[in-house]
Amino acid sequence: CKNPMDKNQLGEPLPSRNQTVGDTTELTTVAGAPVESNQDSMTSGRRGPLMLQEIWFLEKLAHFNREVIPERRMHAKGSGAFGTFTVTHDITNYTKAAIFSEIGKQTKMFARFSTVAGERGAADAERDIRGFALKFYTEEGNWDMVGNNTPVFFFRDPLKFPDLNHAIKRDPRTNMRSSNTNWDFWTSLPEALLQVTIIMGDRGIPSSYRHMHGFSSHAYSLINKNNERVWVKFHFRSQQGIRTLTDQEAAKVVGMDRESHQRDLYEAIEKGKFPKWKMYIQVMTEEQANSMKNNPFDLTKMWHKKDYPLIPVGEFELNKNPENYFADVEQAAFSPANVVPGISFSPDRMLQGRLFSYGDAQRYRLGVNHHQIPVNSPQGVKNYHSFHRDGQMRVDGNRGSQLHYEPNSYGNWNDQPQYALPVEKTGSTDIWRYDFREDDSDYYTQPGELFRAMTSDQQQVLFENTARNLGDSTLQIKHRHIYNCYQADPEYGKGVAKALEIEISTVDLNLPARTSRKANYEANNKHPEL
């Protein structure tokens, strides 16, 4: 079998739908014994009770009860496909990563796109961020690029991540999603305004996964063969073009088809219309980063393309639907911690938080040996050696009698010091809970720039989407958002106020500047009477 992804965990070829496993059509138990009947349970007498010795019934129901695994805590609804990445431009001056070693080089990959807030059965065409997760099976190990379709995020400290998800998911009492809760959280963090403006804008509902761009959002680092580091952000630009839905179009789509994104991606690939994205990088030198006014590792801000232009790298194409959704898509485990030599992290503390979170989530969701599941295994690597042993569902032979400790006298397995990262300077080394607002409380410049870059039609769409989405939020929250928008651009504030039918002169535009933790609390708690 050519493609390792066409094999099951035992290395056997996967059957297609009209084949049967092996050459037999006979039903067996999981232990391989013949099943006498899958039609009538064994009972005591024609009208009597079921027998405990009806072991096929026991096995069948017990297995069924365990078919559902925990869904991803967020990004639960998604679609995936296999594909190929091809290098089109030389970036070896920036990175020694083998995946980029020469123009024309191809690497197998897997992609999963997702919505964020909805559960596993949620509709696709919702106003929400889209996940954009890529796994490249390189010969130096798997490189996972776990991005979104937006270049920024709501906040800068991973400590707030559980709060975000509590706020945007279901209310503990009503079990409904609540505009009030959602917007209470968003508007209380003024640094969220850029991300909120993007989501409420005309690109807030992609028409399909094929018609959106992807972003690493975070800065990462690239390291070349001289062990020199630059900071980079990755961009993936859809070659299908951007297509979006209005709220009204999305409502119709959801009414007709809750799986619109899944259907679109699956069918395009089945028809041979393989979707493609071009990969680019933005590069910032360490010197540029050191002299930047803003924190270059602040995930709530973009790097402007005019200062850090897009440098072309390559292209990926998705060309194979998974044979089995659960095996490959539901069990896929992406982690920003999966990097390869030549690609590494940055001081972005959100990224640092994610380095813990994903592996931890997957050890719970899929088990400690989830890297053995074919879609997650480092298929590009000839062999992988760690000292990890045992654990539930260890099915690869557990490395037989090989040594499982180090140091040992037999030379297995050795450190690879040639891959040591260049020293990274962190400036001040005083450990403290720094208030980021004292360092940078400019939440509004970039949202204002984005707003002014919009046509007046796009601005109008932004006002109306925002007003609809704020829904039954309290007046206090609406005023708070108008205040935030007004700071970005008075016209943005006035437009949202008008769409909400709120007289702008009634909005207190003199909230305390949020230049500290305390001021932020005060601003959020002003006007509870509204």
Residues designated as active site: 75, 148
Give whichever of 317 and 348 is closer to ligand HEM, judged by the CB atom.
348
Residue 245 beta carbon to ligand HEM: minimum distance, rounded to whole angstroms: 20
Residues 6+ apart with CB under 8 A from 99: 85, 87, 105, 107, 136, 138, 140, 143, 340
Q: Which residue, 345, 510, 319, 352, is CA-closest to 422?
A: 345
Q: Which residue, 169, 254, 239, is CA-closest to 207?
A: 254
Give whichever of 361 and 368 is closer to ligand HEM, judged by the CB atom.
361
Distance CA 14, CA 11 (A): 9
Residue 367 beta carbon to ligand HEM: minimum distance, rounded to whole angstroms: 12
Distance CA 483, CA 481 (A): 5
Give whichever of 345 and 486 is closer to ligand HEM, judged by the CB atom.
345
Residue 34 beta carbon to ligand HEM: minimum distance, rounded to whole angstroms: 39
Tokens standing for residue 194: 């850029």
Tokens standing for residue 217: 């959002």
Distance CA 373, CA 51 (A): 37
Residue 103 beta carbon to ligand HEM: minimum distance, rounded to whole angstroms: 28
Distance CA 348, CA 358 (A): 16
Parallel, antiparallel or unpaired: strands 214-215 and 311-320: unpaired
Distance CA 277, CA 239 (A): 5
Residue 238 beta carbon to ligand HEM: minimum distance, rounded to whole angstroms: 16
Dihedral over alpha carbons 308, 313, 314, 315 (to 10 degrees): -10
Residue 74 beta carbon to ligand HEM: minimum distance, rounded to whole angstroms: 6
Contact 132, 149 (CB under 8 A): yes
Q: Which residue is nearest to ligand HEM (CB)?
A: 131
445-453 vs 490-499: helix axis angle to the nearest 10? 70
Q: Which residues bind ligand HEM (CB under 6 A)?
A: 72-75, 78, 112, 114, 131-133, 146-148, 153, 158, 161, 217, 332-334, 350, 353-354, 357-358, 361-362, 365
**Numbered residues of the known binding site:** 358
Tokens standing for residue 171: 């209310």
Residue 525 beta carbon to ligand HEM: minimum distance, rounded to whole angstroms: 25
Which amino acid is present at 100? F
138: β partners: 141
Distance CA 199, CA 194 (A): 9
Most distant CA atoms of the chain, gap in Å = 86
Distance CA 266, CA 273 (A): 10
Residue 71 DSSP label: P
Which residue is it, tokens 């001289």?
A: 226
**Numbered residues of the known binding site for heme:** 358
Distance CA 375, CA 67 (A): 19
Residues 6+ apart with CB under 8 A from 25: none
How many CB atoms are located within 10 Å of the residue 438 CB?
11
Which residue is it, tokens 């400590």?
A: 159
Residue 432 beta carbon to ligand HEM: minimum distance, rounded to whole angstroms: 20
